[in-house]
Amino acid sequence: MNDALKITFLGTGTSQGIPVIGSNHPVCSSEDPRDKRLRVSALVSWKDYNYVIDCGPDFRQQMLTNEVITLDGILFTHEHSDHTAGLDDIRPYFFRQGDVPVYAHKRVADSLKKRFDYIFADENRYPGAPAVAVNLIDKDNPFTVGSVKVIPIEASHNRIKVLGFRIKDFTYLTDVKTITSEEAEKVKNSKVLVINALREEPHHSHFNLKEALEFIEEMKPDVAYLTHISHMLGFHAQVEKKLPKNVHLAYDNLTITV
């Protein structure tokens, strides 16, 4: 069990989080802590290793809440702000550990370089600015983090491509609208599958609940967790009740072992 992966859902909300600022939607005023969703991210831990998938605007709070003292790297799914805007807050890790390894597709790394130029600067570095060590990844090349192999899986998020990750029997995919059968092959036989399900209504760049459930049905994991959830999906307790037996809504700070 020493090598077992511990997965912590750091955030399970869509891009605005739940509650949405200024919203009077009943889910946004829910007292159930599972209806409060930070921007989507997950922590993958084993032995002494800690890797996060994405680093959105709630990263600092997520690291504090889960007492993540050391960070071995960040795997980016894509460049949208809800997945990247917290990058400046790697500073405490940078000060203690040095350059923080990041794993990103070249397009994503280029976008981060524009938006966080001071983090990527080679010369005239601003005092106190954090730095990263960039590892470029793509769908065709598995890579190693710590002691485990990571298989990148490409999917489409409307016009842009996103990467999901398979680590042993655990697969994490978010912001998926379509996926080729070739890439879906990489997902099959996962014990645990995390997949996005935004709401019941269709959306141009995200699986809705129906599409997510169909994908799970095809991939046949032992268990699946839904993430990247909008307040429009409804109350956690009510949605959870109507899901198939092996499918659950993830919620913030839920931990599972794979």
User: Which is nearer to Zn ion, 37 or 236 (by Cβ)?
Assistant: 37
CB of 4 to Zn ion, least distance (A): 28
179 and 211 Cβ atoms separated by less than 8 Å: no
> Smallest Cα–Cα separation from 196: which of 212, 213, 216?
212
**Nearer to Zn ion (CB atom), residue 16 or residue 135:** 16
Q: Which is nearer to Zn ion, 40 or 102 (CB)?
A: 40
By C-beta, is 80 or 166 nearer to Zn ion? 80
What minimum distance in Å lies between the beta carbon of 125 and Zn ion?
A: 30
Nearest-angstrom CA–CA distance, 159 and 166: 23
End-to-end CA distance of the chain: 9
The minimum distance between CB 127 and Zn ion, in angstroms, equals 33
Which of 192, 223, 221, 224 is closest to 209 using CA atoms? 224
Using CB atoms within 10 Å of the CB of residue 57, give its burial: 0 to 12 exposed, 13 to 18 middle, 19+ buried. buried
CB under 8 Å to 256, separation ≥6 — which residues? 6, 7, 192, 225
Residues that bind Zn ion (CB under 5 A): 82, 175
Of 11 and 46, nearer to Zn ion (C-beta) is: 11
Shortest distance, position 88 Cβ to Zn ion, whole Å: 19
- Please, what is the minimum distance in Å from the beta carbon of residue 220 to Zn ion? 25
